[in-house]
Amino acid sequence: MEKNVEKKDRSNEVLTPREIVAELDKYIIGQDEAKRSVAIALRNRWRRQQVPRELRDEIAPKNIIMMGPTGVGKTEIARRLARLANSPFLKVEATKFTEVGYVGRDVESMVRDLTELAVNMAKKDEQELIKPKAQELAEERLLDILLPKKSEEPQEEEDKEKERILEVVKSDSDKMEISSSTREKLRRMLRSGKLDKRYVELEVSSNPGPMVEIFSNAGLEEMEFNVKEMFGNLFPSKKKKRRVKIPEALDILFMEESQRLIDMDKVVEKAVRITEQNGIIFLDELDKVAGSESGQGPDVSREGVQRDLLPIVEGSTVATKYGMVKTDHILFIAAGAFNVSKPSDLLPELQGRFPIRVELDSLSMADFIRILLEPKNALITQYRALLATEGIELVFQDEAVHEIADMASKVNERMENIGARRLHTVMEKLVDEISFEAPDMEAEQVTISKAYVTEKLEEILEDENLSRYIL
């Protein structure tokens, strides 16, 4: 379904809304309206890139509020959407932020965290591009270390017992002239793994730096980066010698060469660009900061948090250690149960920045059955794969699957409804004994029947107090 299109940037330009929904359907059951909304919002980012430059910056992102109980797929939709778009994605809880003036996290920290993720993504991409060159340079350096001592040149007829002796080969500045044929012979042995048991001594950088911790108030988090960076530059890196096997030495040298080859200015420039154009922030528990009434005592003002969030969502410039980052076109997806408050309790200005609102449905028993069986990462598929590592084939009868779904639904009705998360607790209790005994079991196949499910879970279901702790 995915088309091969040259990617100038991390974007979702190859997927149409219908294709995005089809990809989400592989992992998320139901919630068709929410899938359509996020698919349109994602496609609109690509559309914005196609319009004339003078109009491009005027088009605001179509931010979304998803309303629905816990465990119905809000977070999973946002996470899968970010993977499809290959975009930096950050999930934060609105309740972790505090109004400026209180001790807690500054709302701007989520933009800094998103930029950090984007830098890591851009750096990883750059590493893939320079990987062949870095491997070649690492191999050459290792050969330079191995060759100086003639007595330690590997011989094909060398006694096996002698090969087991762990020798330390040290580099020497006054290297002897070695013929190219000998070097190539050593290179072939290195690549074939014949030297994997030998040891070399490497000089590696060791710069732990001073123990500096900045206990900053909201709005001062950037100071921590600057102070650590300043102190880190004051103390020169030290070299220490490590005695390692050749495969590990190759990895160390590869990482060193990668660091030298990567142009960090280019990486940072790309990271800032994909943060501004393709970043996605999932703002969970927004309903917890809705309303203007504070809690008991000197609690953080919920309306104050909303006012601090407003400029970030509207579009502002945030200072990060990688430079200034604009939030004008970051896609914000907010979510909350909204069972006590409602979106209209938010500040009018904040409401206006979330033009798309979708309500997610509660999950039924039929949805639970589909969740257990249909997605690519279905729970039953996961448990089968886990126990297959012990040589056990786990077989679930259809009646057993229905019984598991039925019990999960009943527990959600009797206690707090945590949606599909209840399936995780029920399944874990169900296969608890098999998971424990698996390494010692002689049977190659274990069948989960309806009777087995009833036997394992019925007693817990009947005991209301016990079920609260276990399920």
- Domain parsing of the chain, residue ranges: 17-117+270-359, 131-266, 365-470
CATH fold label, 365-470:
Helicase, Ruva Protein; domain 3 (1.10.8)
Alpha-carbon span 292 to 133, nearest angstrom: 58
d(CA 394, CA 415) in angstroms, rounded, equals 30
Q: What is the pLDDT of residue 311?
A: 92
Tens-place pLDDT, residues 99-150: 555 555 688 999 999 999 999 999 999 989 999 998 888 888 888 888 764 5
Alpha carbon of 256 to those of 34, 45, 129, 260, 262: distances in Å? 46, 38, 15, 6, 10
Q: What is the token pair recorded at 29?
A: 């059951």
pLDDT band for position 229 (50/70/90)? low
The span from the CA of 277 to the CA of 85, in Å, is: 11
Residue range 58-74, pLDDT digits in tens: 888 889 999 998 889 99
Predicted local distance difference test score (pLDDT) of residue 215: 44
CA distance 395 to 401: 10
The residues near 84 (Cβ < 8 Å, ≥ 6 apart) are 12, 15, 20, 23, 24, 42
Task: Between 203 and 78, name the one with better pLDDT.
Answer: 78
- Phi-psi region at 295: left, alpha or beta (left = phi > 0; alpha = psi -120 to 50): beta
* Amino acid (one-letter) located at 341: S
Strand residue runs (E) in 103-198:
168-169
Superfamily of domain 17-117+270-359: P-loop containing nucleotide triphosphate hydrolases (3.40.50.300)
The tokens describing 142, both together, are 């290792």
* Interval 186-198 mean pLDDT: 82
Which whole number is the average pLDDT over 408-417? 86
DSSP letters spanning 244-267: EEHHHHHHHHHHHHHHHH--HHHH
Same fold flag, 17-117+270-359 and 365-470: no
Rounded percentage of the chain residues whose pLDDT exceeds 90 = 37
Mean pLDDT of the chain: 80
